[in-house]
A and B are shown apart, each in its own frame.
Chain A
Amino acid sequence: MKNRTLLLSLTKNDLKQKYQGNFLGVAWALIQPTATIIIFWFVFQVGFKSKPVDDFPFILWLVAGMFPWFYFSEGLSNGTNSIIANSFLVKKVVFRVSLLPIVSLLSALGIHIFFIFFMFAMFMYYGYMPEIYWLQLIYYVFALSIFLLGLSWITSSVVVFFKDMGQLVAIIIQFGFWLTPIFWNITIIPAKYHWIIELNPMVYIIEGYRNSMIYHKWFWEDINMTIYFWIATITIFVIGGLTFKKLRPHFADVL
């Protein structure tokens, strides 16, 4: 209970602090990705007149993959920096430091939830009414959050000792964007190579968002992918938890 109020108020501070000094404040968290979407919409829908994907307007198909990626990249880069950015707390105050990556994750999640509703609005604008399948996003948001938390525990604790980790994470996010079928359809790759692409747990998430919003498939319909994703995620989560626990006592020594 104490931890929950602490988490909430730290998250509020985190959001506030990130955009403090900006006239528009937290609104920037929303404006920036919105601008990205508008550019994509303009380039692909208006400019290239991209063909609908599987009978769906390209822009809708794109945001269904793009928004979870925004959450992933925002969550991972903030999570990685969460310990370093709060060194003033780690060095001076006694509290559960392992909450810090959770705080970054929660503030990215808050923004992501806004985007999910924004996506719903876009779908409805194009005449697609809410479906029971949309509720499945709750499951995928949860799955992605657990995956992110495991990763952030690893990166945030390692970066304290090994600063280059921060650069590495930035590159992984950049590569990941193109290696994950966000912009392109996995069907353009010969079926026998799909497994290589699907080793990336993010593929499960992106496909999952599209299955919920567009293809109307439940997550248990592809049980193999679900099992693979959870084995990978739980492994990362456990490794993350152990790494963090092992390195935490040394944080204050090096920060």
Chain B
Amino acid sequence: MDNNLAIKVQNLSKIYHLYDKPQDRLKEALNPFNKSYHHDFYAMDTVSFEIKKGETVGIIGKNGAGKSTLLKMITGVLTPSAGTIETNGKIASLLELGAGFNPDMTGLENIYLNGTLMGFTRKEMETKVDAILDFADIGEFIYQPVKMYSSGMFARLAFSVSIAVEPEILIVDEALSVGDMAFQMKCFKKFEDLQKQNKTILFVTHALDTIIRYCGRSIVINNGQLIADTTPKEGVDIFKKVMTGNLNKEEKKDHLLDKKNEKEILKNKIHINPEALEYGNNKVKIIDFCILDYDNKPNSVLDFNMKFSIYMKVRFFETINNPLFAFTFKDIKGLEITGTNTMIEHILTGSYLEGDEVSITFTQNANIQPGSYSLSLGCVNIGENGIEVYSRLYDIILFDVVGSKQLVGFYDLFSEIAIKKDKK
């Protein structure tokens, strides 16, 4: 293998045999005529790529796309069904949560166990322990069995151990997302150090803004196939299309809302959260909704500080006077980030009769912290008897805001900064 390469993957496939019933596996193993009881599932389908030393590559894809399978095969814990992987240099990996920690042993014992497994002697590990403890920063808990740890502590320790063994190639699978903000920043700081030392980093995340911020390259995987190997920005763009199911579809201009056919249903063009909560007395029903990007295309990935709109269409089943239309954004943790409604904005919405259909569009700039959010929609009325809920869709669309600017907190105030020297 070329000396400048860290990882070379050729025609890699991973096929799982799926059985309808557990007994079928045994039947197949014992069948003297080699009758097949399984069907094949391609978790990875002839993927090839090369990664040079010193590159930081982000791997993006939906849940179940095959990202973890790929990383596990590169690490060596999963055996490929076909194809080859060549690697150059010591690999440290954080696969999912915890890098082979024994839940019954204390953190400290696990540090030594992991060191031994990676080929270090106890003496060599003793010199590293201080640095590991310092970075993990979990205090007294290091003397407790790791099963007592919170997932954040677990990730802290696992990350600290895997960087302490000075790998040439670091593989991180989604493990950092459980750490708190401070720890994540510490980790990314460490990434930058490793990048300076020309180490190769491979990581999976669903935080698209992280890919843009830290990676030099991105690989997009969908249904076990490599669909793009390109710059982070382009990779994220392609991933957005995958998420909305628009990949390979021709980009037709008649997506534009203002030209759109009255009958076109926009919610079919976007991924609806299957766990959304719906309630209300259905005097008014939300029959269609969507998030539209600056190009007026249905999209669940928005660019930071670009114009976008929220669209909803309702149908009236009774005569209603002055209903109130609303939307709310929540972050991943369920905290309400922002939102508005027609009452707050002092808009009189008017009176409607049974059978009327009305479209409502909220248009604004996405100047919120890049990250993942959920959209809730509602149509209610506030009368003398309090609030009457016609129709509410909680967390109906999950969407991301991506951008390379990292903010403090939630919002960008677009501050103008002036620095003036007053005295000489």
- Chain A residues within CB distance 8 Å of chain B: 2, 5-6, 9-10, 13, 16-17, 20-21, 88-95, 161-162, 249-250, 252-253
Contact = CB atoms under 8 A, between A and B. Distances in A.
B122 interface: yes
Nearest to A91: B77
A21 to B, nearest CB: 8
Nearest to B17: A253
B245 interface: no
Given A17-B102, A92-B98, A253-B16, A2 B119 contact: yes
A89 B100 contact: yes
Nearest to B29: A161
B236 interface: no
Given A92-B77, A94-B76, A252-B79, A9 B102 contact: no
A252 B72 contact: yes
Contacts of A21: 104
Interface of B: 16, 25-26, 29, 72, 75-79, 91, 93, 95-96, 98-105, 109, 112-114, 116-119, 121-122, 145
17 contacts: A5-B121, A6-B117, A9-B116, A9-B122, A10-B113, A10-B116, A13-B102, A13-B109, A13-B113, A17-B102, A20-B104, A91-B95, A91-B100, A93-B99, A93-B100, A252-B79, A253-B79
Q: What are the 9 tightest A-B residue pairs by CB atom distance, in nearest-first order? A: A249-B79, A93-B100, A92-B100, A94-B76, A9-B116, A89-B100, A252-B77, A252-B78, A95-B117
Contacts of A92: 77, 93, 95-96, 98-100
A115 B112 CA distance: 30
Contact of B114 (A17, A93, A161): A93
Contact of A6 (B25, B29, B116): B116
* Contact residues of A: prevailing secondary structure: helix
Given A93-B99, A95-B117, 12 more contacts: A5-B122, A20-B145, A88-B98, A91-B95, A92-B77, A92-B93, A93-B100, A94-B91, A161-B29, A162-B26, A252-B79, A253-B78
A151 B75 CA distance: 30
Given A93-B114, A253-B78, A88 B109 contact: no
A21 B25 CA distance: 38
A53 B113 CA distance: 49
A162 B79 CA distance: 20
A5 B116 contact: yes
Nearest to A90: B77
A94 B78 CA distance: 9
A166 to B, nearest CB: 15
A93 B105 contact: no
A13 B105 contact: yes
Nearest to A86: B102
Given A90-B77, A92-B95, A252-B79, A20 B105 contact: yes
Contacts of A93: 77, 99-100, 114, 117-118
A188 to B, nearest CB: 39
Nearest to B75: A94
B79 A88 contact: no
B101 A88 contact: yes
Contact of B100 (A17, A20, A88): A88
A88 B103 contact: yes
A184 to B, nearest CB: 37
Contacts of A252: 72, 77-79
Nearest to A248: B79
Which residue of B25, B77, B79, B91 has the most chain A CB atoms within 10 A of its CB atom? Answer: B77
Contacts of B29: 161
B328 to A, nearest CB: 40
Contacts of A90: 77
Contacts of B101: 88
Nearest to B96: A92
Contacts of A95: 117
A18 to B, nearest CB: 9
Contacts of A250: 79
Contacts of A5: 116, 121-122
A6 B16 CA distance: 32
